[in-house]
Structure 1
Amino acid sequence: MTTNAPLLPKVETSNPLDQADLLMRTRKFSEALALLQQLAEADPQNPAVLHALSDCYSEMGLVSQSLFVLDTLCETWPEDLNARGKAGMIRLSMGDKKAASAAFRKVLEASPMSAPALVALNLVETFAASSPEAARLRQLAGSPDLPQGVRAAVCNAIGQIEDAAGNAATAMRFFAEAKAETPGSYPLAEYDKMVAEQRQAFFPGSFAEARAEGSAQRFAFVTGLPRSGTTLLEAMLGRHPEIGSIGENPGLGQALITARQLVQEDAPLTSHWHWTKHATEADLTALRSMFLQMNVPGALRSRSVIVDKQPQNSFNLGFARMILPDAKFIFMMRHPLDVGLSAFSKDFAEGQAFSKRLEWIGHQIRTVYASLDDYLPKLGNRLRLQSYRALVEQPEQQLRQILDHLDLEWNPACLRPEDYSGAVNTASLVQIREGINTKGLGKWKRYKTELAPLVDALGGWDWIREWEQRDAALCSTKAYKASSTFSSLAASASAPNGALTTNMPEPTILWPSRAGGNLASLRSAPGSASASSASSIGA
């Protein structure tokens, strides 16, 4: 097969802005930036061009440049509430709560019923249940004209308010209403089938793998369930001078899709792993080069280790092993009931349908651990299990072990994730700036009654207690042992399977970029009340 480039959608367009949008959607950010800079130079008074330029900078991690363009838009067109809201979200992602709050309040001065501004401001400072802002959110929730996605964001925000007020049952009702407004279904049987095939087909040494050549960087994949603490660990590691992060990057899943499509040209695929029988060392080496070229920006090429913290890359560890044989993996373990509650209380725009129902969340948790159990002995000391509890209760000890796992020297700066210089564009953007703390432990206990369907889907309290015992063993172990498997946990699971082509969507923000993912359908100005929330319970 030929692997010179990934298979990309072919779209015919003569509109330069549409061309730039397509380039960003296919992760050709440098080409998009060059085009947008030309357009901005030719027409510096075109707000659409400047918005697109800001979005491109943001997607490339150049948040200062993105913010400069947005501030220019706000100065030139003060009525552009979209620019003001997006600038506020960037400042919030960088930890500047005061400036973010000021931006959102400025939007509300012009548009008091702006759902995006109310939801965003609630992220910064949770409203009191009796506040005027909470009353406006309830008024919006009762409006029959509210678009579906906006209603989900508003209901979720009200749930956060009720949670802060200690009203667990009421909060859960609003979280359920938010999920009911979210489209999508969860294919349980497909997940089961895919992990079953992983167990039968993935055996390192039985198929080709890429040659580790042409790159000075080593990859570290921080994985686990969504809401398991991956963002906290990323921020900790990001303080190390030899580590750079590409965040929740879809690149590994896209490379896997490309590999499967290219093999399918020569050999019909009969299973999710069938393609590996036909891939050669040259094919995988070419895929490795493509992956590195598309996913390691120039600014990070001086770093020794690149962190990819896409949580559900946990299903893709086998493929990562094939194209990046020198990669290391860290799987974050957080209490399954805390993970489940946090996922249910998170307003995903799209792509995380499993979080719509507590029963589905339970199945996803069991599936992820069944896949992990299969990978543990096969990946050996490349894969480290990391207890979230141990990380927040024993941060220095755990970080020393993690850095040793990544073949890096100790650096005390890693103990201050709140000083992380990068933007945090996940649902944990507010919590990370609070530093290392234990607030994310045991939040499920207030919701024990409401979480009964999740407990049943996990297999009951026996499964949960066994998970707790294994986590306690990790917390008390001075040195990580790769033999710590979950075989007994997985034995009673329903032939689980994780979709190797499934990836976490780009993080939801209130004022969207043009670059696709969850953000593509959320392009209205804040005054139009079209947005979804990044708020949720947990770390």
Structure 2
Amino acid sequence: MIQTTRPPLRMPAPPATALAEAEALLDGQPHLALTKAEAILRQAPGFPPAEFLAARASRRIGKGKQALQRLDALARANPRVPAVLWELGDLAAETGDTRRAVAALQALTQVQPSIPAGWFLLARCLRKLGHAQDAWRADLSAIFASSHDAELLKAAAAVNDGDLDAAEALLKARLQRMPEDPPSCRLLGEIAWRRGDMTGALDMVERAVNAAPGFDLARDFLIRLLMQNNRLPEALVHAEVLIESPVPVAGHRLILASVLVKLGQQERARGIYEQLLAEQPDQPQVWQNLGHVLKTLGAQGEAIDAYRQAVTRQPTMGEAWWSLANLKTVKLGADDIATMETALASLDAADESAKEDVFHLHFSLGKAFEDAQDYHASFRHYDAGNALRRTMVRHDADSFTAEVRATAETFTAAFIARMGTGGCPAPDPIFVVGLPRSGSTLVEQILASHSQIEGTMELPEMMMIAGRLQSRVDEGEFADFATMIASLSPADRTRLGEEYIERTRVHRQTDRPLFIDKMPNNWQHVGLIRLILPNARIVDARRHPLSCCISGWKQHFARGQTFTYDLGEIGRYYRDYVGLMADFDAQVPGAVHRVIYEDMVRNTEEEVRRVLDYLGLPFEPGCLEFYNNDRAVRTASSEQVRKPIFRDGLEPWRNYEPWLTPLVEALGPVLTAYPEAPAA
């Protein structure tokens, strides 16, 4: 007898329309969706799509425990279905069942590693369990997955093309669907930064880092933003975190070193650079950075070696050549000149990427030919370097003169009297103001050799406070500068003064009661200083206008000082400075003490005693031996102030006299009246 095998009974397929109807009800009427799903399951027990629908509906009506049971069963039966694993991981995380969430999300990211949200959620869950390094790796995997996201790529392309509005609209719409999406937050932060909205940039990038602490690129960006805003202690905290990344990157240590340098922790920065070079010596940029730190620390011989290591490895590295020349005590010889000229010839000044090397090389050759006493060639290179640099900076001499005039017209004796008392009474700050290359570093070094005074550096805090106040005029809140200043109540001025004291505290490394802020440009804000820090002292370091201006014109500054790249403009700037200080002297006699550089050189002890009397401090012999002070010095005069005062070079302008007509004309009566101010 032939036996036949009977085919197994087949369950009737559930109607597709019923499942689709139930899905449509899920968001608006989850109770009804659950009812329909259960009806389907009665017809087809265990049917996965209906089980999945029932689980999601149960979750939406608050039956999380039942939903988890269904999802667990589904995941066991269907261990490679991403939607099931995501729902299980998300619900377990939501209900606090972190271990179950981690198991589901680990399975999900193995099956489908291209889903950023799965990695981000896994990172959060791992962090809750104390698995910090694993969480960090999960965040990094999420960022890698996001780098292939078509929507994010479109937004990033729009940002790079300058279409910030389109990118912003796309990213904000994405955040509506995916709140706290870290890559979207970081990109929105970049958009705010490109628009100059630093507050908005910081808010968005901090949001990205808070959402994904392992987002290294966002934390790196946040550190740079904090540094730009001089929030250095916060930047240091983040930099210390970044170097612990499970994916070590040399750049993380470099940015930590940058923060340390800004905080004045030069020795630790030196250690980082030396470690990086021990691991990989062929890094010209790191050699240059090490040179900067060694120069600041006074290790001149080692600094020279570091800079030469940089230019040996990369002869076109203009900044390293300029750093050598800028030591002032180093003379670049004929071989150096030949190497620099060859490097300069190989660069295209029209190439935007090469411009910095080109102007640095021109400045370096200017110094080299100056040392060789070929002043015509020296002037030619200085002039070329300044002309190129001038095309890269913004400076409106007319606008600046108008601002200075408005400041002088505001801070009259009558106005200051009307403002009455107010401001922070702290006597701590000593502001050393003037022009760059005026002898201010010498004054600072002398004062910092006193037992009661700490030298810090050129601090940006007063400039930032003044800039913030000026922005209120620029944005239309006040009609003009005088109206804005007059609006400051005594409490406002106290708060601003206290802000300055608090923000500069990070730069103070000793318990000395007084400290020096050597930002030269603070001469523009002597009136504001008087209002918000009435007990602060102001020392004006002044040098012969031709000597000061030609020295500034020959000096390439790493940042700021945009007025120095044209002889006529630097002459106007000096004239504006003398005019404002003369007006302030007339309105508030005795508030500012003036140190004439030439007098300090010729009669050092007498001038030191005068400035100490102004500060209310006793004379100390150590002030005359300032060159023995081993404090870090970060300005262009760092090597000169480590030697006794010398009288050579009091009139550096004479070597360039044939070419100084634009400067002489711009200075006008300020030149002939020196060291006094013109009558008008």
- Which residue is equivalent to 2:34? none
- Which residue is equivalent to 1:232? 442
Name the CA shift for 1:273/1:395 in 2 (closer, same or farther; >3 Å).
same
In 2: Cα distance, 1:43 partner to 1:37 partner: 13
Aligned: 1:207 with 2:207:
no
Aligned mate of 2:288, from 67, 85, 93: 85
In 1: Cα distance, 2:594 partner to 2:540 partner: 5
Q: Deviations over 1:420-450 (max 9, x none)?
A: 3332222212322233222231111222212
Post-superposition offset of 1:302: 2.1
Aligned: 1:256 with 2:438:
no
Q: Unaligned stretches of 5+ in structure 1?
A: 1-6, 471-485, 492-539
Q: Which amino acid aligns with 2:302?
A: A
- Which residue is equivalent to 1:28? 231
- Which residue is equivalent to 2:269? 66
Aligned: 1:157 with 2:367:
no
- Which residue is equivalent to 1:369? 578
Q: Which amino acid aligns with 1:341?
A: I
Query: Which one has a bigger Cα radius of gyration?
Result: 2
Q: Deviations over 1:288-346 (max 9, x none)?
A: 11111111227446222121111121111000111100011111121101011111111
Name the CA shift for 1:380/1:37 in 2 (closer, same or farther; >3 Å).
same
In 1: Cα distance, 2:405 partner to 2:508 partner: 40
1:380-395 mapped onto 2 (5 Å cutoff): 380-395=589-604
1:336-375 mapped onto 2 (5 Å cutoff): 336-375=545-584
TM-score (norm 2): 0.64
Q: Retained in 2: the 8 A contact 1:263–1:279? A: no
TM-score (norm 1): 0.80
For the aligned residue pairs, the C-alpha RMSD in angstroms reads 2.3
- Which residue is equivalent to 1:9? 199
Q: Which amino acid aligns with 2:450?
A: H
In 2: Cα distance, 1:62 partner to 1:408 partner: 29
In 2: Cα distance, 1:109 partner to 1:383 partner: 48
Q: Which structure carries more helix by proportion?
A: 2
Post-superposition offset of 1:270: 1.9
- What is the aligned residue count? 461
Describe the SS at the equivalent of 2:398.
Answer: helix
In 2: Cα distance, 1:297 partner to 1:353 partner: 27
Q: Deviations over 1:88-135 (max 9, x none)?
A: 111112221111122223334433444333333334464455x22211
In 2: Cα distance, 1:361 partner to 1:260 partner: 23
In 2: Cα distance, 1:65 partner to 1:160 partner: 32
In 2: Cα distance, 1:417 partner to 1:450 partner: 36
Post-superposition offset of 1:252: 0.5
In 1: Cα distance, 2:409 partner to 2:332 partner: 53
Aligned: 1:174 with 2:402:
no
Aligned: 1:426 with 2:635:
yes
Q: Retained in 1: the 8 A contact 2:311–2:321? A: yes
Aligned mate of 1:188, from 397, 403, 419: 397
In 2: Cα distance, 1:236 partner to 1:297 partner: 22
In 1: Cα distance, 2:671 partner to 2:473 partner: 41
Q: Deviations over 1:444-492 (max 9, x none)?
A: 1222212122112212xx6423215x4xxxxxxxxxxxxxxx351xx1x
Q: Which structure ranks higher in relative contact order (CA pairs < 8 Å, sequence separation ≥ 6)?
A: 1
Describe the SS at the equivalent of 2:433.
Answer: strand
In 2: Cα distance, 1:345 partner to 1:299 partner: 32
Q: Deviations over 1:261-290 (max 9, x none)?
A: 46888x832222321121111111111111
Q: Retained in 1: the 8 A contact 2:442–2:641? A: yes
Q: Retained in 1: the 8 A contact 2:423–2:495? A: no
In 1: Cα distance, 2:536 partner to 2:442 partner: 20
Q: Retained in 2: the 8 A contact 1:221–1:307? A: yes
**Which is further off, 13-22 or 327-336?**
13-22
In 1: Cα distance, 2:470 partner to 2:403 partner: 14
In 2: Cα distance, 1:299 partner to 1:194 partner: 32
Describe the SS at the equivalent of 2:417.
Answer: coil
Describe the SS at the equivalent of 1:142.
Answer: helix
**Which is further off, 79-88 or 117-126?**
117-126
Name the CA shift for 1:211/1:65 in 2 (closer, same or farther; >3 Å).
same
**Which is further off, 172-181 or 114-123?**
114-123
Q: Unaligned stretches of 5+ in structure 2?
A: 1-196, 209-217
Q: Retained in 2: the 8 A contact 1:338–1:444? A: yes
Post-superposition offset of 1:144: 3.9
